[in-house]
Amino acid sequence: MTAITFSKKATAEAVTDGMDLSGKTIVITGINSGIGYETMRVLALCGAHIIACARSIEKAQQACDSIAGKTTPAVCELSDMASVKHCAETIQALNTPIDIIICNAGIMALPKLQVKDGLELQFLTNHMGHFLLVYLLQEQLKAADKARVVMLSSAGHMAASKHGIDFDNLDGSKRYNAWQFYGQAKLANLLTATAFNRRLVDAGVTANAVHPGVINTNLARDVGGFIGMAMKTAPVKKLLDISIGKSIPQGASTSCFVATHPSLDGIGGRYFSDNAEAKPSKLGCDEILAEQLWRYSVDYLAPYIGAQQS
């Protein structure tokens, strides 16, 4: 198929213009605000059935009620593995193939160390929660025709430590830096896309990672200090949008493009930014690190995935 190009400022509606997603079922996390909400809205407009995941049924229902199209609200608290497993079981009970999973939700640069279930909260939420959700829905993905997984990573993955994933300090007890730990979690998202793609591509499922761009959404709600305060002011929001930043409709475009565009059929294990393939960090290409992370993740999640480990 002839390569299709879109500008880096293209909106989600522009990259899906004329697309008919009728009959497709799409799981999206973090749909109650920001680019997750816009992604849901646009893909529902294209005719897809959206399984809309948020931290509470109230938030999910409210978001679903505010858009046109077919939606099913679902609860998925990504920092609670029991909640993630319950979400996956709820989706499995629908007895329908899953055409696309967009792992959109996340938290960013928590100013103070927060630990839950033995892991720093950004790593637990951004990585482990999404890893478990996709892992448990593998059979539903395989049952679809040319299914896709989209992991929202970030250019912030380049802020990870020189080790990439500090397996000896995933609880932050030895040292903690807000942006470095955010980078570690986003690197984990990128490596997870690579690992899932390697395991699922022969079954017709591809997985890719995306950097949505610099968008001043609710993701920045936890950022502390002067930077956090500045990002919440109207002048800085406007400056970001004019310069390096994107609006929410623009920020949702790369996710929608990678999730749906026919030109990417069969394309997996890649990293995208600005509606085009991009080059990740050296660590983002490290297949040995990706496999090490996979093994660590399935071991950690053994109580939830049991004998399914592979």
Q: What is the pLDDT of residues 22-47, one digit of tens each?
A: 999 999 999 999 999 999 999 999 99
Q: Where are the domains of the chain?
A: 14-213+248-298
In this model, does residue 227 exceed pLDDT 80?
Answer: no
User: Is 130:193 a contact under the CB 8 Å cutoff?
Assistant: no
DSSP H helices in the chain:
12-15, 34-45, 57-65, 81-92, 121-122, 130-136, 138-142, 178-200, 225-231, 234-242, 248-251, 253-260, 287-300, 302-305
CA 305 from centre of chain: 20
Which residues, 6 or more positions from 181, have their beta carbon under 8 angstroms from its beta carbon?
109, 110, 120, 122, 123, 172
Show the tokens assigned to 254. 């790369």
pLDDT band at 257 (very low <50, low <70, confident <90, very high): very high
pLDDT band at 153 (very low <50, low <70, confident <90, very high): very high
Determine the average pLDDT of the residues in 42-67: 98
Whether 176 is catalytic is: yes
In this model, does residue 130 exceed pLDDT 90?
Answer: yes
- Better-scored residue on pLDDT, 73 or 307: 73
State residue 5's pLDDT score: 81
State residue 47's pLDDT score: 98
User: Is 127:107 a contact under the CB 8 Å cutoff?
Assistant: no
Determine the average pLDDT of the residues in 70-82: 98
- Better-scored residue on pLDDT, 4 or 15: 15
280/183 Cα distance (integer angstroms):
12
Q: Is the pTM of this model over 0.75?
A: yes
Task: Give the residue from 184, 221, 200 showing the smallest Cα distance to 30.
Answer: 221
The percentage of the chain sitting over the pLDDT mark of 70, rounded to a whole number, equals: 88
State residue 307's pLDDT score: 61
Determine the average pLDDT of the residues in 148-170: 96
- Better-scored residue on pLDDT, 102 or 235: 102
Q: Which residues of 244-267 are buried (b: 16+ CB within 10 A; e: fewer)?
A: ebbbbbbbbbbbbbbbbbeebeeb
Among 1.20.210.10, 3.40.1170.10, 3.10.350.10, 3.40.50.720, name the CATH number for the domain at 14-213+248-298.
3.40.50.720
176, 182, 271, 300: the active-site residue: 176
User: Is 245:215 a contact under the CB 8 Å cutoff?
Assistant: yes
pLDDT band at 260 (very low <50, low <70, confident <90, very high): very high
pLDDT band at 210 (very low <50, low <70, confident <90, very high): very high
In this model, does residue 243 exceed pLDDT 60?
Answer: no
State residue 65's pLDDT score: 98
User: How far from 277 is each of 14, 90, 131, 201, 272, CA to CA, in Å?
Assistant: 18, 34, 23, 18, 4
State residue 309's pLDDT score: 53
For every residue of 213-239, which 3-state class applies, written as one string? Answer: CECCCHHHHHCCHHHHHHHCCHHHHHH
Q: Burial of 228 by CB count in 10 Å (0-12 exposed, 13-18 middle, 19+ buried)?
A: middle
280/154 Cα distance (integer angstroms):
9
In this model, does residue 152 exceed pLDDT 50?
Answer: yes
State residue 215's pLDDT score: 81
Tell me: the pLDDT tens digits for 176-192? 999 999 999 999 999 99
Determine the average pLDDT of the residues in 108-121: 97
